[in-house]
Amino acid sequence: MLENRRILLIVSGGIAAVKAPDLIRRLREHGAKVRCILTKAGEQFVTPMSLAALSGEKVFQDLFSLTDESDMGHINLSREADIILVAPATANMMAKMTHGIADDLATTALLATDKPVMIAPSMNVMMWNHAATQENLKTLQKRGIEIVGPGAGDLACGEVGDGRMAEVADLITALNTFFQTRKQSGPLSGYAALVTSGPTHEPIDPVRYIANRSSGKQGHAIAAALADFGAKVTLVTGPTQEPNPNGVAVVAVETAQQMLEACLAVKPVDIAICAAAVADWRVAQASDGKLKKTNGSTPPALSLAENPDILATLSQAKTDRPKLVIGFAAETENTLENGTAKRTKKGCDWIVANDVSAGFGGDTNTVHLITDQGGDSWPTLSKKAVAERLASQIATHVKQNF
């Protein structure tokens, strides 16, 4: 369940911080992607260089770093993760979390996040048993914070009792359990979804093809978000370098015709999202052999034929039409107007119109969600954030209409 999960690890200032390098190593062995925030107190026990070397990512420390804020920013840092793990979580860190104190990068990120938070408390037994800490613990639990540990045993201070941070293996198990439980109890649990992603490649000859610059990042992110919400997801994807999303059935295709056939084979589904950038045309008669170029030769004339319209086919199906069909409209101008027209023409329920004037392949998207209620313009977001916001809108629609 940790494959391709993005984990933001906050390392605060307790002796248990020395476990952070092993925790990062084990998380990456399970396929997770780890970013770290290291507090000033945490730096007394572990170095930024060691965490960076093991995570393969920059370690963030200073809230007021102009370089870090322009590169990532505490808002994006806290919201691009699938979960925030605070390990160790000292008594001081728990108190700050309880009372909404944001006086450094770690606490500011925690206050700014909209993602799940898990903490692994670690402190002296007397500090753990203190009434203030226990009250803070109850408050954090009421807010939905996941608590792992602490365990009982020999403490670094020489005393024995509760307060020992959970072992790395226990944290891995807790994270796996969290994602498995969320998937099984998500708002889209019991619903089947189809997502198309990536470009299609239409052959000219055995070595050349017609395609576009779609990376597949947005479609793959949508498939992952729907799976996280509990849906049974099938991703039909053209050629892309994106890793397969965790917990998603993947069907790899190359051409538009293959993509259509794969989509029809998946039906019936409750939700269909056509995020793939399907080539509008194909070569009517692709050559069986490589077309040769000779000096002074005239370039071959390519006779094009129109590809099948996958979105229209799903939207206008007489039988087994998905209850919710969502298309994408990649536009370079008049994005909202063209997206609205496409929704009417294709017969789909929603259109996500995205401005691609800056080109395909980036990590952000600026979209308008167009429904029968009109258009809702979203701010520029990471493609992962767009996917999560879309999945949330779908879950609300399903609850109200299915």
Alpha helices in 37-130 (DSSP H): 48-55, 66-71, 74-79, 91-99, 105-112, 125-129
| 215 backbone dihedrals φ, ψ, rounded to 5° | -90, -20
Q: To the nearest 10°, the Cα dihedral for 360, 362, 363, 365?
A: -50
Q: Is 78 left (phi over 0), alpha (psi -120 to 50) or beta?
A: alpha
Residues 6+ apart with CB under 8 A from 240: 197, 198, 199, 214, 215, 216, 220
Per-residue DSSP letter, 277: B
Q: Across the strands, what pairs with 250?
A: 235
Task: State how far the Cα of 81 lies from the Cα of 92, in Å rounded to an integer.
Answer: 23
Catalytic choice (157, 263, 274, 348): 157
Is 348 in the active site?
Answer: no
C-alpha R_g of the chain: 25
Terminal Cα-to-Cα distance of the chain (whole angstroms): 28
Locate 114 and state its tokens.
């909209």
Task: State how far the Cα of 326 lies from the Cα of 314, in Å rounded to an integer.
Answer: 10
Q: Across the strands, what pairs with 11?
A: 38
Give the pairing type, strands 304-306 and 249-252. unpaired
Locate 230 and state its tokens.
């509990």
| Tokens 């990068």 -> residue | 105
Map 209-267 to HEC letters. Answer: EECCCCCCHHHHHHHHHHHHCCCEEEEEECCCCCCCCCCCEEEECCCHHHHHHHHHHHC
Residues designated as active site: 157
